[in-house]
Structure 1
């Protein structure tokens, strides 16, 4: 027994390690760091069009809200609109997901799209230092958010920077004062510089960059939505601030050699979130004017024609400009967000950042064709240098190196462009340099995915090996399948002599592969990916006698079970494919639960003809839940619905408790109440306490929302009350009655305050709907298990069982658990459906922006990505815990080993994981690529995720009581529902 348990611990640890590592493999396949060192900057060799540049980044400003006219027919940003009409160029800057603040600023200032490993540091610290326009400048002056300015200016010796305190970023107030702080701080700096000769000398030098990070729109968009008056008024405030700053700069630097760039890092969805590839998040404004910038031109009819140019967000160039923008007749120039860095570098005559992948948008420049050609040529050589450097590094560490064929003759291309410039064919030189940049970008992608085939093959073999290994373990340890007799098994499997040669061969193979990887200087993770796959298949082949005996058993056994195997496999495959489809269309769950309601009602009615109320309850509960996946993921604020949902939670709990208490007087149905002999039932006291906590949480929802509506900061005492309500309510179910129904009601009440306080709309009602369906699941399983009338647990044939585990728990240690049979696959399938609908019921788990960040404002309003992210995860975790607790109750009801069922869940999950692995894309739109990768990552993480859920839920369900008469208590669930017919 101890040996088996140690083996299962090793198996669980191995599964966690394998899935964690193979999730990381996606970063090696698709998300290798774009930063490469060992290059020299490429000088542009042109006369700088401007001596200094002012960069305004309005964080979270959405393009359409910025450009469109207000309700009075006047622009929301009148000054910048006048610039677009009279002085500069404008367009839409297209961002690439993830549309977060740090990646957007890195793309703008450094010219490349962020290394995703930065997410592990909250998008704040630099995992790898990189070059930027600020690095190349003579001096940089930067004021703004403490989350952005230090990324680019901390440790930069030639910078003057300052940030406000993080406590200023309060989501409960109007955050436009953050922008006023940045504008006023620059004004004060310029005023103070007049009395400081060193500062004045520094900022008078050429190559100066002034950077103002304006966070107001982002904070107000999160807190109040981008269609709110606060957000729209913030746009006007930014416009006035830009106007005053331009006037200030022109007075301080009267030489007229200042260029200005106004843009945003990302947009904002209607629900106040960002992060994904929705056009509301990827489309940002770009306005450029000043020294070296071309003036506006009238739009021609051809400008509204799709010219086929695709941007990083896969939107076509020159989509029709809406009439509401008031810019229909002014030429529009769209660019990629990464193109802004080479534009700023060219305006200042500086080399492009070393790792920039942007292409210089010459349409913005007011310089002669020769300088345009030279600047584009320098830009192309800078991008080409990255390809050449990556090629050198890969060639030095690869036995059979395959170069990027289109760039084999890159020297001839460079000579050709240089000759075109020398001969005055500037237009041809421009086009040739642009083509070279496109080829170089393809080359960068080629080397980014150079190890793609090796890694993909290794991961697939690892997953297949894991599936086979887990399947054999389930067959051997948890089923009655006559795989081998005990005596024969000991002779065949206990003999280690046959295993040693296989394991020795596997070790030698892995050693040879490791030497090859070491020669190629492969990362340590490559060894881990391959090592796990080799280890699994070695163990499988080492147990070949087991597989050989399995074949003999199949040949000698009657085929009466074959139709059941085929039917179960088909149903399982269909359900898993529906779950895969649900990642793309949430409406799939509507179909699933519509069908489940009918099937569940039929199953119950066929076995309970005298209890007609129960089938109706089963049908109504499933259909009620099916409606939620038809609702939009954009949840509208509805405080009354949240408070009302709290009342519904309390009502359902009171009804369930009352009916349970009513039947407790009947000895044939009586549950065990922890042996309390006091006059006042302790379980009732606990229940009343939980009800009061739910009511208090509902009241705090109303109170805190009222403060937000009045644009007041949330008082600290209210935050402390909310934290206390959530924390205390979660702990109380541990002390509740050990009876199944009473414990599940207590868990349902215990997590309700936390979920209500994190809810803003209909998702609060989803909590109740999910709880009812989980009750339905237990009802149906009890019907399948116990049939029409109360009876003892089904008689299981244990004579040939290979698995007689020692159960855990207080009462269950008196009896052995049942072996898993083929029909019990339904338990794992139901769990997978429910655990996934817990995600998709109120959002899309493949999109970080589909969950409302405003949900956390009742606990914290000061911006803190880790605490806010943790609270958002808690909200997502609550339905999962309910599902897992119900799963534990079902396995206890059916007397099944929960760990064995866990392995079946993982086995089915990994079938989906491999499916998603083949759906991963490396071409097409970046949004599709990112979504496909997130799907794979979510499923690959499920083994770790579900294990964590089991650990958490076991705290609440490990002592569920089902002894003697309590074996029949599951039928009380049926009777309590049916009693509604008479009461």
Structure 2
């Protein structure tokens, strides 16, 4: 086959473009910020109900697991009991509860940002590992007089580093080494409770600390990571996870009692308990599954409404087994918690907050509620106004957000109307108008934030289409057109073609100058320039090669009928659409495997007769591989399947390498099976991950991954032996990290790939047996079959044991 390499100058251009884009994107991340500067902070002018707020976040706590009743594990009672008796008593008698609905991605950093800052962080923050602040943002902690935070070093620093005063937010953290997924993690939560108790004890001998703790507008933040760690390690249905809920409940009970005694039961402390995200049945999170997006919220104390037991509403099938129907369930969005906390202690609402104050949680006068929602409306509409002014100053032919751009529905008019209603004592009407202003402001923010989407999508689409056409043009020119084609040599272009090329060059340069000028005037992001350069370069080059497409199309019509050509195109489009649909329904991949198993039936007769055993192996391997994409994504641990897969790989490896005196890979596979079995046993016994197993696993990692580079180095190897070595080299890692049928999947997938390679070679030999120089033949339409099968195997490799949300389920304990 011919070499399909892209010209070096084009690759150089692409490399420069992507490197510049990456560097500029980092520049944008670090030197641009959301709407922090130039915004007016707002707070309620009335006296707040609470002097202090205690925020407790149970990291990774699912709503249903907290609220449900469970069988008594000690057998004392035949009735189901709660794992959180203190919090359940709060729900039934002292506070307000509901479900806090999070957004994707359901990760710790964006969850805490939504709770404490009141806005949903851009997904691009995942590139920073959710640990450092890509941009500045305001928060409840920053607006407080002083905040003490206790917990994980992964969460606490981002709010301390983002504070306007570095001494305002104090952090008390355990070390990273304490976050051990190989042992019960409830001790992390016990550490947090103990450290807070020690802080209160230290205040007796520290006058400054004592004064700070008795100030108003202070926040105490307790971050409890044990639930998340145990959820990852053992799953949310495990005894460890349930016991951790009990530990959290007991810790909160003792902490509340300690606080109330410390402040002489002054009734000025507000408490909020919630979670940053939930936990899937497999013990992970990140996607938008309801198990990950539904978290609990319980509020009680100063300024919080008692449970509503008069005609309670809000319950559905999700809460049917909680047996809490006697009290009202009040759901919120996760960002709504920030303005609630700000209202309770009388601080400025975070200027970036898009949360809507849940009035149903407040126990106060109608005037206070109306004023609180009015401040909420001012703060959100201020964000819209600042964003509006920025866009208006920079955008050419700016089109404002229509619902907030007329005489009756604009920010100033609506704010004035609310103030008039409050002054007249019409608090319900004032709240309704605030709701209208908040919703319009949020819609307007969304409109302004996505103002450039049409332009960006058009430019990016043009760039991708241009790159596709460029690659196709190059392939057609170099590997499809006959050698005597005039388009094989650039110096044979006619005068007409040269003239057309000049016009196209002028058009491309003019377009680039115009687009860059528009971006400059509009003060667009630096990355926009690279999008434009990429699109103009390739679209311009594709126009220059339009005759190549015409000649190639004529050549295709000559080589086969137009009906067959149309059939090829339609068939490929249907196949690609089938691949797209498999993103949503994995069983489609199984159907494709079954069709692949039937492929030998349509092969040439001579290929079938000469390669019967090979084709039988192929069909059997395809049918075996089709089983895995029908199996559930959420699978429990079954180490026996891991061992069976390891044994198959071991037998295949020994058989394929029998003539070699080196058995390093096979030994690694065998040792990895021993490590998996021993590690699993130790973890079940709560002994933890043995140190010797850790070192052995690292040694296997180094040796196995290095083997393909050194084994047979400098020697001429048969391609099958080389590919077998590569596939076997990664097998020990799969064995160590897998928890169920993943190793069996890896075995059958690699076998199917190797068999496919052999079949393609047989077909190639059969179709070109008369050609003497097979290595330099021209590409044909039938070669597109190889591309489709290759794409299919790429998809299977990613989604054979998982889905889009979770590509696999490696054992986090082993990792």
State whether TM-score is above 0.5: yes
CA distance in 1, matches of 2:812, 2:482: 51
Q: Residues of 1 paired with 2:561 and 2:770: CA distance? A: 19
| Residue 715 (structure 1) shift | 2.9
Q: Does 1:697 pair with 2:672? A: yes
CA contact (8 A) 2:84 2:249 kept: yes
Residue 919 of structure 1 corresponds to none
1:190-211 residue CA offsets vs partner (Å, 9 max, x unmatched): 1001111111111111111111
Q: Which whole-Å deviations, capped at 9, do the CAs of 1:355-386 have from their partners, x for residues lacking one?
A: 10000001011001111001000100100000
Inter-partner Cα distance in structure 2 for 1:696 and 1:257? 61
* 1:919-945 deviation digits (Å, cap 9, x = unpaired): xxxxxxxxxxxxxxxxxxxxxxxxxxx
Matched residue, 1:9 = 8
| 1:538 to 2:540 alignment | yes
Which of 250, 260, 263 is equivalent to 2:271? 260
1:483/1:550 contact within 8 Å kept: no
Aligned to 1:295: 306
CA contact (8 A) 1:33 1:115 kept: no
Q: How far apart, CA to CA, are the structure 2 residues paired with 1:487 and 1:129?
A: 55
Residue 685 of structure 1 deviates from its aligned partner by 1.6
Deviations 1:644-697 (A, max 9, x none): 211111122334456xxxxxxxxxxxxxxxxxxxxxxxx6122x2221111111
Aligned-residue offset at 1:461: 1.4
Q: Is the 8 A contact 1:639 1:702 kept in 2?
A: yes
Contact in 2 for aligned 1:397/1:521 (Cα 8 Å): yes
Which residue matches 1:882? none
Which residue does 1:966 correspond to in 2? none
Cα distance per residue 1:470-489 (max 9 Å; x no partner): 11100111224468247975
Tell me which moved more, 357-366 or 819-828: 819-828
Residues 746/545 of structure 1: CA separation in 2 closer, same or farther (3 Å cut): closer
Match of 2:152 in 1: 145
Asked if 1:767 is matched to 2:726, the reply is no
Determine helix, strand or coil for the equivalent of 2:172: strand
Kept in 1, the 8 Å contact 2:181–2:813? The answer is yes
Listed as ranges, the matches of 1:523-602 within 5 Å are 523-544=525-546, 546=548, 553=554, 558=558, 560-600=560-600, 602=602
Equivalent residue in structure 1 for 2:284, among 249, 273, 285: 273
Rounded Cα–Cα distance in structure 1 between residues aligned with 2:59 and 2:696:
33
- Residue 321 of structure 1 and its aligned partner are, at CA, apart by 5.3
- Paired residues of 1:483 and 1:549 also in contact (CA < 8 A): no
**Equivalent residue runs for 1:674-753 within 5 Å:** 684-686=660-662, 688-734=663-709, 735-736=711-712, 738-753=717-732
State how far apart, in whole Å, the 2-side matches of 1:717 and 1:493 are.
73
Deviations 1:333-360 (A, max 9, x none): 0101100000000001112100100000
Say yes or no: does 1:125 pair with 2:132. yes
**Which residue is equivalent to 1:837?**
796
1:11, distance to aligned residue in structure 2 (A)? 3.1
Secondary structure of 1:286 counterpart: strand
8 Å contact from structure 1 (residues 321, 327) kept in 2 = no
Cα gap change, 1:630/1:344 in structure 2, threshold over 3 Å: closer, same or farther?
Answer: same
In structure 2, relative to structure 1, the CA distance for the partners of 1:619 and 1:351 (3 Å cut) is same
Which SS does the other structure have where 1:609 is aligned?
helix
Deviations 1:541-564 (A, max 9, x none): 33455456557x559x74744344
Aligned mate of 2:349, from 345, 352, 357? 352
Does the alignment pair 1:232 with 2:242?
yes
Give secondary structure in 2 for the equivalent of 1:284.
strand
Secondary structure of the residue that 1:268 maps to in structure 2? coil
Deviations 1:66-114 (A, max 9, x none): 1111212121100010111111001111111110001000000000001
Give the Cα–Cα distance (whole angstroms) in 1 for the partners of residues 22 and 236 of structure 2. 35
Aligned to 2:47: 47
- Partners of 1:200 and 1:390 in 2: how far apart? 42
| Aligned partners of 2:117 and 2:138 also within 8 Å | yes
SS at match of 1:213: strand
1:819 alignment counterpart? 778
Structure 2 residue aligned with 1:425: 426
List aligned pairs for 1:23-38, cutoff 5 A.
Answer: 35-38=35-38
> What is the CA–CA distance in structure 2 between the aligned matches of 1:276 and 1:81, rounded to whole Å?
29
Aligned-CA RMSD value: 2.7
Match of 2:757 in 1: 778
SS of the equivalent of 1:173 reads coil
Distance 1:550 1:559, change over 3 A: closer
In the alignment, which residue of structure 2 is the partner of 1:284?
295
> Using the alignment, how far apart are the partners of 1:770 and 1:839 within structure 2?
11
C-alpha distance in structure 2 between counterparts of 1:781 and 1:349, whole Å? 73
Contact 1:625 1:766 in 2 (8 A): yes
Q: Distance in 1 between matches of 2:392 and 2:335?
A: 28
Gap regions ≥5 residues in structure 2: 73-79
The counterpart of 2:111, out of the listed 104, 112, 122, is 104
TM-score (norm 2): 0.92
Deviation at 1:455, TM superposition (A): 0.8
- Taking the aligned partners of 1:266 and 1:65, their CA distance within structure 2 comes to 13
- Are the equivalent residues in 1 in contact too, given 2:330–2:360 (CA < 8 A)? yes
Label 1:130 to 1:250 Cα distance change in 2 as closer, same or farther (>3 A).
same
Within the candidate set 474, 498, 501, 1:499 is matched to 501
- Equivalent pair of 1:61/1:264 in contact (CA under 8 Å): yes
Residue correspondence of structure 1 range 176-325 to structure 2 within 5 A: 176-254=186-264, 255-298=266-309, 300=311, 303=313, 318-320=315-317, 322-325=319-322
Could you report, residue by residue, the CA deviation over 1:165-211 in whole angstroms, capped at 9, with x for unpaired residues? 01000000110000000000000011001111111111111111111
Q: Structure 1 residues 322, 391: closer, same or farther in 2, change over 3 A?
A: closer
The 1-side partners of 2:388 and 2:211 are apart by 43
Shift in Å, 1:592:
0.4
1:475–1:481 contact (8 Å) kept in structure 2: no
Measure, in 2, the Cα distance between the counterparts of 1:443 and 1:469.
Answer: 40
Contact 1:36 1:389 in 2 (8 A): no
Asked if the contact 1:492–1:546 (Cα under 8 Å) also holds between the matched residues in 2, the reply is no
- Where does residue 397 of structure 2 map in the other structure? 400
- Counterpart Cα distance in 1 of 2:97 and 2:792: 49
> Counterpart in 2 of 1:889?
none
**Structure 2 counterpart of 1:967:** none
| Alpha carbons 1:58, 1:214 under 8 Å: kept | yes
- 495-504 vs 834-843, which moves further: 495-504
Please give the alpha-carbon distance, in whole angstroms, between the structure 2 residues aligned to 1:79 and 1:193. Answer: 27
1:586-607 CA distances to partner (integer Å, 9 max, x unpaired)?
A: 1110110111101135538763
**Structure 1 residues 285 and 232 mapped into 2: Cα distance closer, same or farther (>3 Å)?**
same
Structure-1-length-normalised TM-score: 0.77
Give the corresponding residue for 1:311. none
In structure 2, relative to structure 1, the CA distance for the partners of 1:739 and 1:604 (3 Å cut) is farther
Instruction: Give the Cα–Cα distance (whole angstroms) in 1 for the partners of residues 370 and 474 of structure 2.
Output: 67
Cα deviation, 1:593-635, whole Å, max 9, x if unaligned, reads 1111011355387633365433332221111111111111112
Q: C-alpha separation between the residues in 1 aligned to 2:605 and 2:544?
A: 50
Q: Secondary structure at the residue paired with 1:322? A: helix
In the TM superposition, residue 580 of structure 1 has moved relative to its aligned partner by 0.7
User: Do the aligned partners of residues 218 and 227 (structure 1) sit closer, same or farther apart at CA in structure 2, a change above 3 Å counting?
Assistant: same
Instruction: From the superposition, tell whether residues 606 and 327 of structure 1 become closer, same or farther in structure 2 (CA, over 3 Å).
Output: farther
Segments of structure 1 that go 5 or more residues without pairing to the other structure are 305-317, 659-682, 799-814, 860-983
Equivalent position of 1:942 in the other structure = none
Hey, what's the Cα distance between the residues in 2 that align with 1:251 and 1:558?
Answer: 92
Distance in 2 separating the partners of 1:18 and 1:826: 32
Which sits farther off after the overlay, 480-489 or 59-68?
480-489
Moved more, 263-272 or 634-643: 634-643
2:42/2:375 contact within 8 Å kept = yes
SS of residue paired to 2:295: strand
2:808 corresponds in structure 1 to 851
Q: Which moved more, 1:135-144 or 1:566-575?
A: 566-575
DSSP 3-state at the match of 1:259: strand
